[in-house]
Structure 1
Amino acid sequence: MAVARRECAFLSALSGRRIKGVDIIPAVPHTSFFTFNLGGESLPIHILRSKRKTLSLLVHPGAEVECRIPESCSIPVLESYLDGKRTWLAKAVEEMRRVAKPRERELVDGGSVRWLGHWRDVHVKAGRAQMVVLDQTDGFFLTVKDQDDLPKIARLFDQWAKGQAERLFRFETGRLSQQFGAPSPRSVGVRKMTRRWGSCSSKGDILINVALIEQPIAAIEYVIWHKLCHLTHWDHSNAFWAYLAAKMPDWRERKALLG
């Protein structure tokens, strides 16, 4: 079949906590990732499950493709639907790439931010409590005292996003380490980086760029597995790449998603 299933279920309910008076709300949904062979190109498609009764396909600026499906939709039904949209999808992707401009996050009411590889709408309202809530279908809902205080909105969101990234990356590091039989790191941390997605120290400490939370799930798994491989092979020798590919043979496709 033209569609290669790549479904990666992340934490759907993370325990809430407070950080400096800010309410941190569980917000990482179940997300599915498919690679669709479109004219010889591996096209990533983000699958969002909801209570809707029909399937819909959207192509966003930059040719990011989203498919919304009912919660009960089976894989064969989804594959058949995508295959039937092949001609339309090819034209839509080509058009969006032609007119696309670099997209930047806008933390304002009516703006959007990238989260797990998908651009999500931002809704900002005034309120006494400072909160960030992510709805799987409708995007982010931010509550702040002054909805015109853009720097404060950015700090609120970035603080929330870092907390989510820390828990998500630590969870995935443990899961991949156990699944692939790799050594566990001494620690897993998150920080802002400008030139790389992560690092691994000689003592076994892994640091991951907080911006990785913006990338598709399959790409996140690649970066984390790459760092875990360095606990066995410290360089980028042939042995390193062979070890990495043995457990993740599609690593090149995953790496290509980073951007």
Structure 2
Amino acid sequence: MVEAITKPEEISLDDLWKSVSIDNGVFQPELLTNLPSLARRYLEKAIAPGTQLASAVRLWMHGEIKLGQKWHPFQAEEVICWDRGMIWQATTEMHGLPILGCDRVVDGVGNASWNTIQRSGEDITRSCVGRVQAESVWLPSVLCRPDISWAELSVSQVQATFTALGEPGKITLTVSNQGVLEQIKVDRWGSLEGEAFHYSDFGGIVEDSGTFDGYTIPARLRIGWFFGSEPFESEGESFHCTIDKAIYK
């Protein structure tokens, strides 16, 4: 009997999590000796020695999301699997009615939806991949991989260059003297206010950190488009979240 092949858009959040294979490798700070000092400082703060080098994270979060011109409280669950993709599922309310939202990209197929309104295609897939690149800070073990290239931009900024889900990307991290992550920024593919899709600055401010299973990650963030410029707070900021729980695999 031939097994039915599950299409990428039919894979559930639980399916994606269950598909992750466990790596027996553990974090050893001495393996970072060839990295710039700021990158080492960040990773040594983000991962406790002896922690399993995970390739996936499952997150539970709550916060506020801007839909149109109004902010709405949300709760969400997310799985990021570095080698396959990401699924983020959220619930909120609008005019007293429940709304379900989902961003996802799995095995090269992405889509975004709120209730019955769905968007898909190459542009949405590339935009969702950009989200995965930005959210690598919730899975810092992948930034220890040998295919990551690091460059120190200043005394407080370091940049990682890599390929995620087939798309080249760069993430710029602002890091304190103690190795605490303060800001993140990526060039993310997107369409703002009906414009044609293009790369724009996307990122946010880390307001607090939390430690889960040996990983110290951003636990409270303000995120959006136009990061690093004046329109960020007035137009681009669209997502406030607090991480309630994170588990690694």
**Could you say whether these structures have the same fold, taking a TM-score greater than 0.5 normalized by the shorter chain as the test?**
no
Higher percent of residues as strand: 2
TM-score of the superposition, structure 1-length normalised?
0.23
Q: Which has the higher contact order (CA 8 A, sep 6+)?
A: 2
Relative to total residues, which structure has the larger helix share, 1 or 2? 1
TM-score by length of 2: 0.24
